[in-house]
């Protein structure tokens, strides 16, 4: 009865592995899963090795397998299903805080298969990162689409080997504009969340300016008299202490008055005007391996989807206003829980 049950489990999981192979096209990973499945059910390979190898060598293989198996499970689970990441900065306060860990869903929103050993979960730290290489991941088919205002984890686009946690503000094909800190998507105002945080200045009687950081909720909880003392810090002039994307707009835009800026979508066409080349040149070179200045055509068709990210701590966040668009392949998954 016990052997019959194991055979049934084996058959069911064989079907699951076949479905996994059809979805992922990963032949060697599927074979490895098949061998692991056999070791827990029929143990055909174990029996074969035991009869063919001497006892000492067989035991070495056996205990090596016992040691390696948990690592393989961890790599597989964190690559294809769920993973957790450290929040590295205060850019998401008051929603997330430095030291928090976030659990993300990978499988629903498109697993990103690492193209380099460095980016493999669990064991990647043992390898050196690739230099000047931006084709880091190959995405698998997603089952859900990312939505505006989802909190996601993504690989930093500046070759820093870091993972960042931000909120999606702009989706592919959106046009984003920021006016006096208010975000507009496709000319429609994006509703503010209670946790969005800004810098405020309070000028005291002795002419000393006091700077404070308040979320929308914290600011509204103050009395009208207290609110009247504070003024939101809004930059309307360029400041080279805060570099902007694209660099061609450094003297025209600020973090609080930004855009309009069209976010590229896969298959979208743009006219190769002098202005468009300045805006999109850097991301196309990095993520699509094409130099727009060397093309003979008058239009360009994007190969990837891109997203525009912002931190909830709007005045203390290094985000897409600084480093630009994030390619879809860099997005690891959507946050589902905070530790």
- Note whether 307 and 331 are within 8 A (CB): yes
End-to-end CA distance of the chain: 43
Section 139-147 average pLDDT: 94
Q: Which residues contact 124 (CB under 8 A, 6 or more apart)?
A: 114, 117, 118
Question: Tokens at residue 155, please?
Answer: 């690989």
Considering 20, 48, 80, which residue would you say is the last residue of a domain? 80
- Note whether 166 and 187 are within 8 A (CB): no
Considering 49, 80, 111, which residue would you say is the last residue of a domain? 80
Q: Which residues contact 225 (CB under 8 A, 6 or more apart)?
A: none
* C-alpha–C-alpha distance, residues 98 and 86, integer Å: 8
- 205 pLDDT exceeds 90? no
Q: What angle do CA 124, 162, 284 make, to 5 degrees?
A: 105
* 3-state SS, one letter per residue, for 107-158: CCCCCEEECCHHHCCCCHHHCCCCCCCCCCEEECCCCCCCCCCCEEEEECCC
- Note whether 42 and 10 are within 8 A (CB): yes
* C-alpha–C-alpha distance, residues 10 and 29, integer Å: 17
Total domain count, the chain: 2
Please give the residue range of the domain that contains residue 23.
Answer: 2-80
At residue 314 the predicted structure's pLDDT band, cuts being 50, 70 and 90, is very high
Q: Of the candidates 158, 176, 5, which has an alpha carbon nearest to the alpha carbon of residue 167? A: 176
Q: Of the candidates 22, 153, 128, 133, which has an alpha carbon nearest to the alpha carbon of residue 78? A: 153
Q: What is the pTM of this model?
A: 0.92
- Domain membership flag for residue 67: yes
- 269 pLDDT exceeds 60? yes
> What pLDDT score does 89 carry?
92
At residue 151 the predicted structure's pLDDT band, cuts being 50, 70 and 90, is very high
Where is average pLDDT lowest: 129-143, 236-250, 296-310?
Answer: 236-250
The better pLDDT of the pair 189, 210 is held by: 189
- Domain membership flag for residue 53: yes
Q: Which residues contact 9 (CB under 8 A, 6 or more apart)?
A: 41
At residue 94 the predicted structure's pLDDT band, cuts being 50, 70 and 90, is very high
Considering 60, 80, 100, which residue would you say is the last residue of a domain? 80
- Domain membership flag for residue 291: no
- Note whether 202 and 282 are within 8 A (CB): no
- 207 pLDDT exceeds 80? no
- 166 phi and psi angles, rounded to 5 deg: -145, 180
- Domain membership flag for residue 274: no
> What pLDDT score does 5 carry?
79
Q: What angle do CA 151, 156, 158 make, to 5 degrees?
A: 145
- Domain membership flag for residue 13: yes
pLDDT tens digits, 59-92: 999 999 999 999 999 999 999 999 999 999 999 9
- Domain membership flag for residue 330: no
> What pLDDT score does 1 carry?
56
> What pLDDT score does 2 carry?
67
Q: Which residues contact 277 (CB under 8 A, 6 or more apart)?
A: 292, 293
Question: Tokens at residue 40, please?
Answer: 């827990």
What average pLDDT is seen over the chain? 93
Type and span of the H or E element at 2: helix 2-24
37-76 burial, b for 16+ CB within 10 Å, e for fewer? bbbebeeeebeeeeeeeeeeeeeeeeeeeeeeeeebeeeb
- Domain membership flag for residue 211: yes
Q: Of the candidates 313, 308, 314, 324, which has an alpha carbon nearest to the alpha carbon of residue 152? A: 308
> What pLDDT score does 236 carry?
86
Q: Of the candidates 236, 274, 264, 253, which has an alpha carbon nearest to the alpha carbon of residue 321? A: 253
Q: Which residues contact 251 (CB under 8 A, 6 or more apart)?
A: 238
Where is average pLDDT lowest: 1-15, 32-46, 131-145, 184-198?
Answer: 1-15
- Domain membership flag for residue 14: yes
């Amino acid at each position: 009865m016990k052997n019959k049950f194991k055979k049934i489990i084996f058959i069911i999981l064989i079907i699951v592995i076949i479905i996994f192979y059809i979805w992922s096209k990963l032949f060697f990973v599927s074979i490895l899963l098949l061998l692991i499945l056999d070791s827990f059910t029929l143990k055909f390979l174990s029996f074969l090795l035991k009869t063919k190898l001497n006892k000492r060598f067989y035991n070495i293989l056996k205990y090596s397998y016992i040691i390696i198996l948990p690592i393989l499970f961890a790599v597989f689970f964190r690559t294809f299903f769920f993973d957790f990441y450290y929040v590295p900065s205060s850019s998401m306060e008051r929603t997330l805080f430095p030291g928090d860990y976030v659990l993300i869903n990978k499988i629903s929103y498109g697993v990103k298969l690492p193209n380099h050993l460095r980016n493999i979960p669990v064991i990647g730290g043992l390898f050196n990162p690739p230099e000047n290489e931006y084709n880091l991941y190959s995405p698998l088919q997603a089952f859900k689409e990312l939505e505006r205002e989802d909190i996601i984890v993504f690989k930093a686009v500046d070759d820093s080997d870091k993972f960042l946690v931000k909120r999606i503000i702009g989706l592919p094909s959106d046009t984003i504009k920021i006016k006096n800190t208010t975000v507009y998507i496709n000319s429609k105002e994006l509703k503010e969340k209670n946790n969005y945080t800004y810098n405020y200045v309070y000028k005291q009687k002795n002419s000393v300016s006091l700077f404070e950081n308040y979320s929308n909720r914290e600011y509204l909880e103050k009395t009208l008299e207290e609110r009247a003392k504070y003024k939101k810090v809004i930059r309307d002039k360029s400041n080279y202490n805060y570099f902007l994307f694209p660099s061609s707009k450094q003297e025209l835009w600020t973090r609080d008055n930004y855009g309009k800026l069209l976010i590229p979508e896969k298959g979208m066409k743009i006219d190769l005007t002098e202005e468009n080349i300045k805006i999109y040149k850097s991301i196309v070179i990095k993520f699509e391996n094409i130099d727009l200045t060397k093309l003979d055509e008058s239009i360009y068709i994007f190969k990837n989807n891109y997203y525009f990210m912002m931190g909830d701590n709007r005045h203390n966040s290094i985000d897409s206003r600084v480093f630009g668009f994030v390619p879809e392949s860099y997005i690891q998954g959507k946050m589902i829980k905070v530790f």
